[in-house]
Amino acid sequence: MPFEDKSQQYLESGYALGRGYASSLRLNYQHTLLRELLGYIIHPEILSHGRLPQDAKVADIGTGTGYLRTTASRLTMYQADFTCSQWLIDVSRELPSAQLDGFDVSEEQYPSGAWLPSQISLRQLDITKSIPPNLEGSYDLVHVQLFLCVVQKDGPAAILKELYKLLKPGGYLQWVEYDPISFTVVSPDPSLKQSANQKHVQIIQGPAGKATEWPSKLPSYLADTGFQQVTFDSYPLPPRTYAPFMQCHLVAAEEVSFKAMKNDGPEAQGPMFRDMLAEVYKECQTGVTMAESPVVVIGKKPI
């Protein structure tokens, strides 16, 4: 029986990915891949002309491992990953005098504070709810990464409202995100079997017009929230990175199959989905794989 996406029966909200050491490793690897793809930790436009003071207060929302985290509330969003504290660690090298605060809804993947730079603190915060008044207007830079699993059907407007509150007047938001609409199957030879990869992409993208279209519309969402000087950059994967990015997606998908699908028999959704992933990987070994273009959007809170 072919796999049929019934994830909405099981996923209405919550974290559909793992929080163990293997999941933390995946998050840290994703961070490394994105850092190499973008070529920066903080967008050059934010760093230019002294726009970010050396003693800046910086918040990383969805920190997870303190390196970059991931959450998912729908199967079509399983490729999302929150940031991990590794982003904060990288920022600590660029801004050694900055105050760096990581926030996540769960502290399960936080590393021991004993091994983090002294300027980094990790705390608990649910950005999908109103932020505490004492955090309003606190930060020069707020960073968000891979929130596909957090943003619900109505889009990121509610979350952006809370992120906006965190910023000082003149502060910047930097949002790094996968763009499911950019996902496409590529092959070195059109004659190679690619049906499993095509199915995989269809599941990631979800039905047309649904929530997975919002990343490409982030500039409009930021402008509607009140941000100014909004910029949007898209970063197509170079072919040499197809394999490692695809491997991360497959590992995340497998995590979702165990945590967010039924696994009570060989014809349950979980085992059937993992069978499909095995077929995806077989095709990948022939050169068939998935290409994509992650996006970065930045915006400034008016002074």
Give pLDDT tens digits for 174-188. Answer: 999 999 999 999 999
Residues in Cβ contact with 247 at an 8 Å cutoff, skipping those fewer than 6 apart: none
**Mean pLDDT lowest for which of 16-25, 162-171, 279-288?**
16-25
Query: How far apart (Å, rounded) are the C-alpha atoms in residues 276 and 197?
Result: 9
Question: Where is pLDDT greater, at 183 or 209?
Answer: 183
Residue 266, pLDDT above cutoff 60: yes
**b/e string for 262-279 if b means 16 or more Cβ within 10 A?**
eeeeeeebbbbbbbbbeb
Residue 260, pLDDT above cutoff 50: yes
Residues in Cβ contact with 166 at an 8 Å cutoff, skipping those fewer than 6 apart: 59, 61, 131, 135, 136, 137, 138, 139, 142
Residue 10, pLDDT above cutoff 90: no
pLDDT tens-digit series, residues 86-137: 899 999 999 999 999 999 887 776 767 788 999 999 999 999 999 999 999 9
**How high is the pLDDT of residue 284?**
97
Give the pLDDT mean for 26-37: 89
Residue 299, pLDDT above cutoff 60: yes
Query: What is the reported pTM?
Result: 0.86
Q: Give the model's confidence band at 62: pLDDT under 50 very low, under 70 low, under 90 confident, else very high.
A: confident
Question: Where is pLDDT greater, at 247 or 74?
Answer: 247
Residue 277, pLDDT above cutoff 90: yes
Q: Tokens 């499993």, residue?
A: 196
Query: How far apart (Å, rounded) are the C-alpha atoms in residues 160 and 298?
Result: 12
Q: Tokens 């059109």, residue?
A: 190
Residue 208, pLDDT above cutoff 70: no
Contact (Cβ atoms closer than 8 angstroms) between residue 74 and residue 62: no
Q: Give the model's confidence band at 152: pLDDT under 50 very low, under 70 low, under 90 confident, else very high.
A: confident
Residue 80, pLDDT above cutoff 70: no
Residue 11, pLDDT above cutoff 50: no
Residue 72, pLDDT above cutoff 50: no
Q: Give the model's confidence band at 64: pLDDT under 50 very low, under 70 low, under 90 confident, else very high.
A: low
pLDDT tens-digit series, residues 47-58: 987 889 999 999
Give the pLDDT mean for 223-236: 98
Question: Where is pLDDT greater, at 72 or 39?
Answer: 39
Distance of CA 70 to the CA centre of its chain: 6
Provide the β-strand partners of residue 69.
82
Residue 159, pLDDT above cutoff 80: yes
**Mean pLDDT lowest for which of 41-50, 78-87, 224-233, 248-257?**
78-87
